[in-house]
Each structure stands twice: as structure tokens, then as C-alpha cells.
Amino acid sequence: MSQQAFGSQTIFEIIVNFFKEDNWLFEEIKSEAVLQMAFQGKSGRWSCYAQFKDVQHQFIFYSVCPITAPESQRLTVAEFIARANYGLTIGNFELDFRDGEIRYKTSIDIEDDRLSFVGIKNLVYTNVNMMDKYLPGIISVIAGDVSPEFAINQIDQNIEVAGLSNGAVAADAQKDLVLDISSQTDLQPQEGISDKEPHILTILTPDEIAKFHQALQVMPHYQRKQAEAIIETLKKELIARLGELEEEIFTQGYNFFSEVKIDIKNLKLIQRYSGLADRAKLLLRSFSNGIEECRQLTVEMSTSREELENVFWSINERLQELPTDKLEGRREVELLIEIEEFRSQLAGVERLIKR
């Protein structure tokens, strides 16, 4: 085997050393430059294998789905995979129509570049994380419980909620969010704003929005019991977070999502703006705490508070528009740019408060 070598190590030896140092248990097939191993994720356990192709100078890593698609379900699974692959930037799912094997593949062309420990790790863990993330959907589609579109929508919603770390707040902090703006000091706005009422999407957290949407708009009729269970859990969570305001907010949220149908693309943007609204409310609360401690604001702090209030109500206005926005032309791009601008403004206020 004429493997390209970096220093005193061949590429395959570098790959082997990575899995040894990263504490993987594996079986080495030297004649084929392949390593076989298993991975235990949150969603299940499956086989993996790492392969180096000498002629192509490629390193490839596969996660093999623990179940295969029966012949009767292969077209349906193919639709799921096509929907899953759309938009993926690192790796992709593959389906073998001959035997129903499903796997996730990540690879890199090595050529003259050095194959680093970090590079291998990114490739391997991106791979297993993607299989772990999509495996429940694959199982549901093969079982015939849900359609490919529904399964992907559920996964997308969960990813969106989990990925809001830059714009959302921790669950324990969400309990302290102020909702009755007109009666609370942390959102006493400037003149001309005090009589405004926040939109229900500004009040709900991104996770609560996702659950209302899933239970009332996404889940099919035959999953009515599961939808009712989600609603009941959501109501309990609102009680824990809002106390006596729970009933009013729950009713508003339930009626809103029962009456206004929201496209999944709009939902993702709504969740992003909702996370920013939560962040703005916490910052305004910090300003109020500062007032109580210092009994005065510097000119800089006062100006920043006014800007923060303007950001909050701008977000509120956007959340009123988004449910029915058709997102035509460059509209979605413009909104994503606006989200980043709001995020930058909030970060600036956070730095000022910390000072």
C-alpha cells in the first residue's frame, strides 16, 4: 500500500492514532485501510467505519443506521433523506436502494494538506451528531407513524430551539421574565410607548412557541393524544413561569395558534425574534435593578436604556407581522440581517451593564 505520508506517519496511521487518543474501541482492517467501531448516541447505538482511500487521497467516515428501510418504505425514506440533505453543509445521508441501508457520510480530500487531530475530530463528531439528530425521524418514517415532511419539520423545530444560544436565555432565567409590561418598572418605556401591549409572540419563549405550533398546527389528527399531552405539559410550564398570569397567556397563545397558520420558514424567524425579545426583557430588568441600587443613571446608561426599549418594541412589531409575512424576494435575507443588528445592539448594552 503506497500511502502518502506526512513526516514519519502515513495518513492511515494518523487516523488510527486519532481514534486511539480519543479513546474509541475499534477493529482495524489493515489490508483495506478501514477501522470498524460502534457509537452510542442519545437516540441509539450504531456501527461506524473510517476509511482512507489511498488513490483518491480521501478520508471518509460513515455512520450506518441501525435499521434498514424495507422495500415498501424506500421511496418514503428517500424523500426523508432528500429533505434532510437539503441545506446540510458538512456531509450527507445516503440510501442504498438494493438493501435499504441508510448511512451518513462525511469526507475530506487530503491532497497536500495535513490531516490534523482537530480536522479528524470535526469530521467524525459532526457525522455521529447528525445521525443521532435524525435517527428518531428515520425510525418514525420507516414505522409509518409520520410523513417525511412532518418528521423533518419536527427535527428542524428542535434544532432551532436548541440553537438559540446567541439570542435566547437560559430556562431558569426565563422564569424571571417580566410580561405585564405596563405595570412593571423594568419595561417602563419612554413617553408614547407606555400604553402599548406586547404581542403574544413577544411574551412566549421560543420553546413555548415551538410546542404550541407543533401541537396545534403540525401534528396530524391521529396523533391527537400526543398533541393534548404536549399542550398539558406546556400549560404546567407556563404556570411555573408566570404564576397568576398563566391562564391569560395560555388562552392567548392557544387561540392565536389555533387561528393563525404559520409556515415553518416563518416559525424559525419568529423563534429568533422571540429569543431576542427575551434577552431584551432581561436587560431592561437589569437596568431597573441598577436604578434601585444607584437611584440614578448616567447619561450613557439612560441613552442605552432608551435604545433598548426601542429595540424591544421593534422586535414586538416584527413579531406581529411575521406570522402572515410571505417572505417574498429578499425579505428573508433582510430579516436575518436585522436579527444580527438587533443581536449586536443587545450585546453592546450587555457590555455597558457589565461595566
User: Is residue 340 over pLDDT 90?
Assistant: no
Q: Give residue-wise pLDDT tens across range 27-81.
A: 988 777 899 999 999 888 999 999 988 777 889 999 999 999 999 999 999 999 9
Query: Which of 213-227, 253-267, 288-302 is predicted with the least confidence, judged by mean pLDDT?
Result: 288-302
Q: Residue range 134-158: average pLDDT?
A: 86
User: Is residue 316 over pLDDT 90?
Assistant: yes
Q: What percent of the chain has pLDDT over 70?
A: 80
What CATH code is assigned to 5-145?
Answer: 3.30.1460.70
Rounded Cα gap, residues 242 and 110, in angstroms:
54
Q: Give residue-wise pLDDT tens across range 82-139.
A: 999 987 888 999 999 999 999 999 998 886 657 788 889 999 999 999 999 999 999 9
User: Is residue 199 over pLDDT 90?
Assistant: yes
109: exposed, middle or buried (Cβ count in 10 Å: 0-12, 13-18, 19+): exposed
Rounded Cα gap, residues 9 and 17, in angstroms:
10
Lateral strand order in the sheet of 102-109: 26-29, 34-40, 45-53, 58-64, 102-109, 92-95
pTM, rounded to two decimals: 0.51
Listed in order, the ranges of the chain carrying CATH 3.30.1460.70 are: 5-145
Tell me which DSSP letter residue 219 carries: S
Rounded Cα gap, residues 3 and 10, in angstroms:
6
Rounded Cα gap, residues 186 and 174, in angstroms:
15
Predicted confidence band of residue 303 (pLDDT cuts 50, 70, 90): low
Model pLDDT, residue 101: 95
Query: Which of 154-163, 194-203, 204-213, 280-289 is predicted with the least confidence, judged by mean pLDDT?
Result: 154-163
- 207 vs 293 pLDDT, higher one: 207
Q: Give residue-wise pLDDT tens across range 163-198.
A: 443 333 333 433 333 333 333 333 333 333 345 789
